[in-house]
Chain A
Amino acid sequence: MSKVKRNQIIAYSLLSLAAALTVTILLAIVFYIMSRGLAMINLAFLLEEPRRMGAEGGIYPAILGTVYLVGVTLLLATPIGVGTAIYLNEYIREGLFKKVIRFTTEALAGIPSIVFGLFGFIFFVILLRDITGGWSIISGSLTGVMMILPVVIRASEEALRNVPNPLREGSLALGTTRWYTIKKIVLPLAFPGILTSLILSIGRVVGETAAFLLTLGGSLLIPRTLFDGSRTLSLHLYMVAMETGNMDMAFGTGAVLIILIIIINFLAGALFKRLIKRFS
């Protein structure tokens, strides 16, 4: 066998090995967490309140906290993010304003979550305490909005860009206003793409911990209003693992988280496939 031929075989074996390693790591993490966590999951675990700081009992408040936080964050971030994308893609052309917005979105996307946490803490939790209730779902959500805004903006812009231009021109040429064209043609066509971005943002909020550590407060009580402190599943996992040392409870929570993330990724993937079909 020639030397070049042999080099190719060695190189490709190493590349395959790297891929195999990556897949193995993923499967190892998922299976390990599941194998230790699934046994914990039952109705009581999901629907009961925790006892002894979460070392015993269920994770119900954390589930509620996650749902509230995700809901409020998306409710606020969606109009702002999609609105920004519409303005950038449908109303203005390349130029200073667009550059500034693009730069700030990039910068916002790069900021570490703990820095968002610092800001959320000093601004929403301390400064606006009278409005937000201090450590609360509202404070967490407002911080979360800032974090997922870049994701929503970028993905929505992408979705808007994919709407064929002849359809826009066709509508405008009929003497409709820009906004009417956006409402009736552009947004409906971009909808699956925007939805994909929103689903991925849910993943981001569910997976985020550092920022919410400083803004949600980590209360174990069932939140009664959006102005109450709370904790998410991720935060719960962290606190249980680090404070009570009961790893089984942490693994149970971890398994719930992984199942959630798998569902989210599956939904986003399915939507994305439909999207590709539509435009090809």
Chain B
Amino acid sequence: MTEQTNKSIKIEVNQLDFFYDQKQALNKISLEIPEQEVFALIGPSGCGKSTFLRTLNRLNDLIHKTSLKGKIKIDGDDIYHSSIDVVQLRKSVGMVFQKPNPFPFSIYDNVAYGPRANGIKKREQLNAIVEKCLRQAALWDEVKDRLDDSGTSLSGGQQQRLCIARVMAVEPDIILMDEPTSALDPLATLKVEELIHELKQNYTIVIVTHNMEQAARVSDKTAFFLDGVVVEVGETDQIFTNPKMKETEDYITGKFG
């Protein structure tokens, strides 16, 4: 316990409201997400988990007619402040999507995409990055002999790990994951979960999951979302064994719609 309380706050969310046009999707969200932990977001679908995740790397900026109130600070910087460069922000806040979205080029080029965008051209340097990230994503042994194959030719689980490797190649310090295993079979899910466990040592991870066991297995802290509101947040153990709120209990015991 003492080990966790020592950790500094990486992401600080304060009174966050979010709107799609007139429709409010997030309501007065306040959360503190510590460094180098896995933070899980659970809740019924449509409750705003993805919306919240996408406010952290400002991906919602791409959607027409959205607006946001409140503050999100990463390492103390207000990420919606006008002095912030969104491109730089997204380099340090990586994202893994629900449906694996490898680019339609080779495995190698997928991983090298970010570094190349950052101006790295030397082949040896790129080789090193690609190998390191694929190893970290536990994919290297499966693909090292076919780096020129298309990323889309991999299985679903491999594609998702490729996407994780692709994110790591940009060297973010936060990784957002939106139901990263929902499209995967149990074996592939297990591999990704193991990976998340490894990654925690170097990254702060925020993961949305539908799967309660998964949240219990991989996360340190959990927040329960309902209709755009954080109903309860706490240590994962406590949320799953001794929830304080009635709604949380209903949800984790499956009484919820």
Contact B101 A176 (CB under 8 A): no
Contact assessment for A169 and B62 in the assembled complex, using a CB-CB cutoff below 8 Å: yes
Stretch at the interface among A16-24, A73-81, A136-144, A177-185: A177-185
Q: Is B156 an interface residue (CB 8 A)?
A: no
Distance (whole angstroms) from the CB of A111 to the closest CB of chain B: 31
For the complex formed, measure the closest distance between the CB of A93 and the CB atoms of chain B, giving whole angstroms.
4
Take A93-B64, A175-B170 as given contacts and tell me if A170 and B103 are in contact as well, using a CB distance cutoff of 8 Å: yes
- Say yes or no: B90 contacts A173, CB within 8 Å: yes
Say if the beta carbon of A69 comes within 8 Å of chain B.
no
Per-residue A-contact encoding for B101-121, CB less than 8 Å = 1, 0 else: 101100000000110011000
Quick check: A174 and B90 within 8 Å, CB to CB? yes
A174 and B117 contacting across the interface, CB-CB below 8 Å: yes
B57 adjacent to chain A (CB < 8 Å)? yes
A175 engages B103 (CB within 8 Å): no
Decide if B59 is an interface residue (CB 8 Å cutoff): yes
User: For B166, what are the chain A residues with a Cβ–Cβ distance below 8 Å?
Assistant: 170, 174
Tell me the smallest distance from the CB of B41 to a CB of chain A, in Å: 17
List of A residues within 8 angstroms of B114 by Cβ: 174-176
CB distance from A131 to the nearest CB of B (A): 42
| A171 interface residue per 8 A CB criterion | yes
How far apart are A80's CB and chain B's nearest CB, in angstroms? 26
Does B49 interact with chain A (Cβ within 8 Å)? no
Name the CB-closest residue of B to A175.
Answer: B91
Is B87 in contact with chain A by the CB < 8 A criterion? yes
| CB atoms of B59 and A173 under 8 A apart | yes
Residues on A with C-beta less than 8 A from B118 are: 175
Inter-chain CA distance A185–B62, complex, in Å, is 17
- In the assembly, what is the distance between CA of A173 and CA of B98, in Å? 13
| CB < 8 Å neighbour of B64 from A94, A168, A185 | A94
Choose one: A164, A172, A176; the contact of B62 (CB below 8 Å): A172
- From 82 to 96 in chain B, residues with beta carbon under 8 angstroms from any chain A beta carbon are 87-92, 94-95
Given A94-B64, A180-B117, A189-B104, do A174 and B99 touch, yes or no (CB 8 Å)? no
Given contacts A173-B97, A176-B117, 11 further A-B contacts (CB under 8 A): A93-B65, A169-B59, A171-B103, A172-B62, A173-B59, A173-B167, A174-B113, A174-B167, A175-B114, A175-B117, A175-B118
**Considering the complex of A and B, which 3 residue pairs feature the smallest CB-CB distances, nearest first?**
A175-B91, A175-B90, A166-B101
Q: Supply 14 A–B pairs (Cβ within 8 Å), ascending by A.
A: A93-B64, A93-B65, A94-B64, A173-B90, A173-B167, A174-B90, A174-B167, A175-B91, A175-B118, A176-B117, A177-B87, A177-B117, A184-B113, A184-B117
> Which positions in A face B, CB cutoff 8 Å?
93-94, 164, 166-177, 180, 184-185, 189
Q: Show the binding face of B for A, using Cβ within 8 Å.
A: 57, 59, 62, 64-65, 87-92, 94-95, 97, 99, 101, 103-104, 113-114, 117-118, 163, 166-167, 170
